[in-house]
Chains A and B, each alone.
Chain A
Amino acid sequence: MKPNFRWGYALFVLLMLAVLGFIAVGILSLFVGVDVESLGGNVALVPIEGIISGTDDSGFFETMTNSLDTVELIEKADKNPGIKAIILEINSPGGSAVASEEIANAVRKTNKTTVAWVREIGTSGAYWVASSADYVVANRVSVTGSIGVIGSYLEFPGLLERYNVTYQRLVSGKYKDLGSPYREMTQEEREIFQRALDGIRDYFAGEVAKNRNLNKKDMDKVANGLFYLGAEAKELGLVDELGGKDEAVRYIEKREGIKAEIVEYKKEKTLLDVLSDVMGRQSFFVGKGIGSSLFDRKAASSIGITA
């Protein structure tokens, strides 16, 4: 074999394998998500955006925070020896009371310094999460507070009546269709609901008071569902400092004595996740369509309680 050919062939093999390598890396990046634990930096930035929910209901263009994912990210940051502090970047109007508490508990449990950085909005359940951090930073005009619980819903028996549609109440158990939008709520039912909402609100306010070291009197003053701008919230003791990311970082650097290197802890969806999500949703709706044509099911309850 001529020497020229041999070197030419060697070059060809190397180039071909290099191209294959690039393709393989591309495919790996698409299908395998980079685990956040693997990222460098010493300050984890965990975003809490959109409605806080206990399930992943976000679509392609809407942002939601799934409490399970967020708790996992916080726990990973906590376990990572390289991470010295966690910043919660909050831009959320709140959401499910349970999901909010799950995140708040995870934040409280960490051994790292935690700072909540409230951006545009950090109200209700999102404020619950913020209050569980060691330090809360908000912009002067950030919307925060709104400590309260809402369970309102639409009731349309009048509309049904107008179209001569009747709700056949078939229940075993007096309160089984409590909160059905197809009939009017009785006074007793209203009281049951109100009691539940008050209970959640008291718990929510109690948790925030505990997190922020506020006494009951002060807490009752602010836990009325009203929102506050950042400057007001600072006066009321709901926020520690007015500012943004720089202030949050400065606090961490001073407390930990480090030069902060921020790394975003975010659950990235891989191509496979997105595809299976789409397929799953399509299958769900197809199934739902077939199901509803077979059984004309009525919604038993449509109430969702959000904080």
Chain B
Amino acid sequence: MPRLNLPKEKTFTGPALIWKRIAAFFIDMIIVNLVVLFPFRALFRNTIPKDYSFSEAYRLLGSSANFTGYISSISLVMSILIILYFYLMERKMSQTIGKMLMKIHVVSDNNEAKAWQLLARNLVFLPVFPFVLLWAVDPLFMFFTKTNQRLTEILGKTRVVEIYTLQ
């Protein structure tokens, strides 16, 4: 069958829309929570009684250094696994599952994203001072930059983009 010589679609790459980024993030977190962090549920179930109110749980957390240390170790291991998920996915495919579904992907300001760049953009997950400060500051940057970049993305010289088609 003869191929039709149709004009090619005109596309360009631009910053991913913020709602798509947020949706991709939630999808990723749900997946990570269901699959990767699943074994940690038992640990937490044995750690904080389910009938505890937030204030009771908070009081419990501060009640002993040993207990706080225990929770910190669990949180640190969990965050390492989350970082690994984002790193391994973005390293190989420039996308996580959430980004695949939202059709957005990660690019580097240089040619190819290096390991340190991908790790830098995920430092926000570390539950250690001073990285915890990023929890609030990091996503805020997204709303005030033209390229919709988070602070760690600016530092790591990476961006999240999507392909737009010209009508």
Contact = CB atoms under 8 A, between A and B. Distances in A.
Contact of B49 (A24, A33, A41): A41
Contacts of A80: 60, 63
Contacts of B52: 40, 82
Contacts of B92: 9
Interface string A99-135: 0000000000000000000000000000000000000
Given A6-B93, A13-B88, A24 B77 contact: yes
Q: A interface, by DSSP: helix, strand, loop or mixed?
A: helix
Interface string B44-62: 0011111110001001100
Interface string A68-82: 000000001001111
A25 interface: yes
Interface stretch (A15-23, A45-53, A87-95, A291-299): A15-23
Given A1-B93, A34-B70, A80-B60, A14 B31 contact: yes
B60 A40 contact: no
B121 to A, nearest CB: 17
B81 A40 contact: no
Nearest to A38: B47
Q: B interface, by DSSP: helix, strand, loop or mixed?
A: helix
A37 B63 contact: yes
Given A37-B67, A41-B49, A28 B74 contact: yes
A34 B43 CA distance: 9
A39 B100 contact: no
A10 B97 CA distance: 7
A274 interface: no
Given A35-B64, A38-B48, A79-B63, A21 B39 contact: yes
A29 interface: yes
Contacts of A28: 43, 73-74, 77
Contact of A38 (B60, B77, B89): B60
Given A10-B100, A17-B35, A17-B36, A25 B43 contact: yes
Contact of A35 (B39, B40, B66, B85): B66
A12 to B, nearest CB: 9
B39 A38 contact: no
Nearest to A21: B39
Contacts of B134: none
B67 A38 contact: yes
B163 interface: no
B42 A32 contact: no
B38 interface: yes
B84 interface: yes
Among B32, B39, B66, find the residue whose CB has the most chain A CB atoms closer than 10 A: B39
Nearest to B55: A81
Contacts of A10: 89, 93, 97, 100
B39 A22 contact: yes
B93 A9 contact: yes
Interface in B65-123: 66-67, 70, 73-74, 77, 81, 84-85, 88-89, 92-93, 95, 97, 100
Contacts of B56: 81-82
B37 interface: yes
B73 A32 contact: yes
A82 B49 contact: yes
Contacts of A40: 49-52
A34 B60 CA distance: 13
B63 A21 contact: no
Given A24-B77, A38-B46, A14 B93 contact: no
B66 A29 contact: no
Contacts of B100: 6, 10
Contacts of B95: 6
10 contacts: A10-B89, A10-B97, A13-B89, A21-B81, A25-B43, A29-B43, A34-B46, A37-B67, A38-B48, A82-B49
Interface of B: 31-32, 35-40, 42-43, 46-52, 56, 59-60, 63-64, 66-67, 70, 73-74, 77, 81, 84-85, 88-89, 92-93, 95, 97, 100
4 A-B pairs closest in CB distance = A40-B49, A38-B47, A17-B36, A25-B39
Interface of A: 1, 6, 9-10, 13-15, 17-18, 20-22, 24-25, 28-29, 32-35, 37-41, 76, 79-82
Given A13-B89, A17-B32, 5 more contacts: A1-B93, A17-B85, A28-B77, A34-B70, A81-B56
